Structure 1
Amino acid sequence: MNKHSTSKSFLLLGFAFIILLVGPLAAFGATLSTPSTKMYFKNNKYYIFNNVWGKDQVSGGWQTIYHNSDSNLGWVWNWPSKTSSVKAYPSIVSGWHWTEGYTKGSGFPTRLLDGKAIKTNVSYSISASGTYNAAYDIWLHNTDKASWDSTPTDEIMLWLNNTNAGPLGAYVETVSINGHTWNVHKGYIDAGNGKGWNVFSFVRTSNTQKASLDVRNFTNYLADSKSWIDKTKYVSSVEFGTEIFGGTGQINISKWDVTVR
């Protein structure tokens, strides 16, 4: 058996193990398992990103993204770890993600001062064990020409699901936004060499598997109510994914869209 066939066999065995452990959610069509690979869809407006940025912290882990249709897509993971650090954030990206420019037709970047709505909808199901969340990740810059080396000024996370996990930073308060209550946390990422960015996490007080949100409601809270961000900044992207600290599982996404107008 050649090396390629051996790797494929192990991957299929891994899928079988995950399904036996947490139960099946969806069959697999087009799949990619190579770290940092992208699977574009909806005329390249979005892509699924096999983001495994913390994989060096654990051995023997793997992750696969798949796209059967625009209403049947997601990822499967196996990260054998019980530490409190994030191993991966497989996600759907609209706009920028440490890349040259923005995805086609995304409507990003959009300056907060311009007052455009940033509406997004998601519906998903998860079958998993371990420690993880399901969360939006929203990036802001001081420029409308963000590139691969452009350090963000701010990161906003909207947690829809919190399973045994905890956000970065200190708890600030509980607020009502978009018809739901959220625990607000404020922290900072030190990226070294004098670079870094603020992280604002909104953790929903009860888990949900669907959401219809306007991101501007959250940026208005940060800019107007707290004066933590300036409205001259640009929203560069909106992502939705799973921060995985450890365990096995699958997320299947049946609805996803982001509209800037």
Structure 2
Amino acid sequence: MEHSTGSQSSQVTAVNGNSITWHTTYTWQGGPFNVKSYANLDLRVGLGKSLSQISSIPASWSWTYTSASSDLVADVSYDMWLSNVASSSGASSTSTFEVMVWLSARGGAGPAGSQIGTASVNGVTWKLFKGTVSTWTVFSFVAPSEMTNFNQDLKPFFTFLTNSEGVPSSQFLVQAQAGTEPFVGSATLTTNSYSLSIN
């Protein structure tokens, strides 16, 4: 692996009810094909339900790059984890599926695996990627263009995977995160408002 160097800091600046404002600033060099970090907000309530038990996952995220270098390679994404074990967490030995929703892919950033087609979800045609990381399958929905004001239900993404890609509705949603994965470059990503819940 090519040597990588850099630094990053993140801060929550306001909490208003269920809405959170935060930012992260980073500079990374080297290893342009390797994700350096995933500064994120990690939901702590409503998890451990099977997909069939979930009626909706309302998500709202308003964000912007307040600064970004010309060589920036990064994504802005939701990262959600499924398991056969309701009490487990993501990226573990019991993980079965990782489901990402990419709202931004700058500088040629791309998900794990390769594109297997497109998916029409919530009236948007997303590029659909499939790959394998460690012991689990990764599905990534990549937006056709940068979406800086996202206000959608995330449940239809799982419904699509159940109907079209064989993901069982008996799978448990055990972790739901949202943040940014930088590969290389410098940026400040500011979230003006963010909320996520599971019903």
Check whether TM > 0.5.
yes
Q: Which residue is 1:133 aligned to?
A: 75
- Partner letter of residue 174 of structure 2? S
Q: Which residue is 1:97 aligned to?
A: none
Structure 1 residues 167 and 83: alpha-carbon distance in aligned structure 2, compared to 1, 3 A threshold: same
Q: Which residue is 1:119 aligned to?
A: 58
Q: Which residue is 1:58 aligned to?
A: 4
Is residue 2:103 matched to residue 1:160?
Answer: yes
More strand by share: 2
Provide the C-alpha distance between the structure 2 equivalents of 1:147 and 1:249, rounded to a whole number of angstroms.
29
Q: Which residue is 1:226 aligned to?
A: 165
Q: Which residue is 1:80 aligned to?
A: 29
Provide the C-alpha distance between the structure 2 equivalents of 1:219 and 1:57, rounded to a whole number of angstroms.
37
More helix by share: 1
When Rg is computed on C-alpha atoms for both structures, the one with the higher figure is 1
Q: 5 Å matches for 1:75-224?
A: 75-81=24-30, 83-94=32-43, 103=44, 106-126=45-65, 127-129=67-69, 130-146=72-88, 149-164=92-107, 165-190=109-134, 196-224=135-163
Provide the C-alpha distance between the structure 1 equivalents of 2:81 and 2:160, rounded to a whole number of angstroms.
16
Instruction: Give the TM-score of the pair, scaled to structure 2.
Output: 0.89
Please say if residues 89 and 241 of structure 1, whose CA atoms lie closer than 8 Å, have aligned partners that are also in contact: yes
Report deviation, 1:176: 1.7
Provide the C-alpha distance between the structure 2 equivalents of 1:87 and 1:57, rounded to a whole number of angstroms.
11
Identity among equivalent pairs (%): 28
Q: Provide the aligned C-alpha RMSD in A.
A: 1.8
Report deviation, 1:175: 2.1
Provide the C-alpha distance between the structure 2 equivalents of 1:145 and 1:205, rounded to a whole number of angstroms.
34
Question: After superposition, what is the alpha-carbon deviation per residue over 1:107-162, rounded to whole angstroms, capped at 9, x for unaligned?
Answer: 11221121421111100011212100111101111111115855311101100011
Report deviation, 1:205: 0.7
- Partner letter of residue 66 of structure 1? Q
Provide the C-alpha distance between the structure 1 equivalents of 2:3 and 2:137, rounded to a whole number of angstroms.
24
Structure 1 residues 115 and 68: alpha-carbon distance in aligned structure 2, compared to 1, 3 A threshold: closer
SS at match of 1:243: strand
SS at match of 1:88: coil
Please say if residues 81 and 247 of structure 1, whose CA atoms lie closer than 8 Å, have aligned partners that are also in contact: no
SS at match of 2:155: helix
Of structures 1 and 2, the one with the larger relative CO (CA 8 A, separation 6+) is 2
Please say if residues 133 and 243 of structure 1, whose CA atoms lie closer than 8 Å, have aligned partners that are also in contact: yes
Instruction: Give the TM-score of the pair, scaled to structure 1.
Output: 0.69
Q: Gaps spanning 5+ residues in structure 1: where?
A: 1-53, 95-102, 191-195
Q: Gaps spanning 5+ residues in structure 2: where?
A: none
Displaced runs of 4 or more, over 4 A: 147-150
SS at match of 2:55: coil
- Partner letter of residue 13 of structure 2? N
Provide the C-alpha distance between the structure 2 equivalents of 1:141 and 1:214, rounded to a whole number of angstroms.
21
Question: After superposition, what is the alpha-carbon deviation per residue over 1:161-210, rounded to whole angstroms, capped at 9, x for unaligned?
Answer: 110211111111122211211000000012xxxxx100001000111101
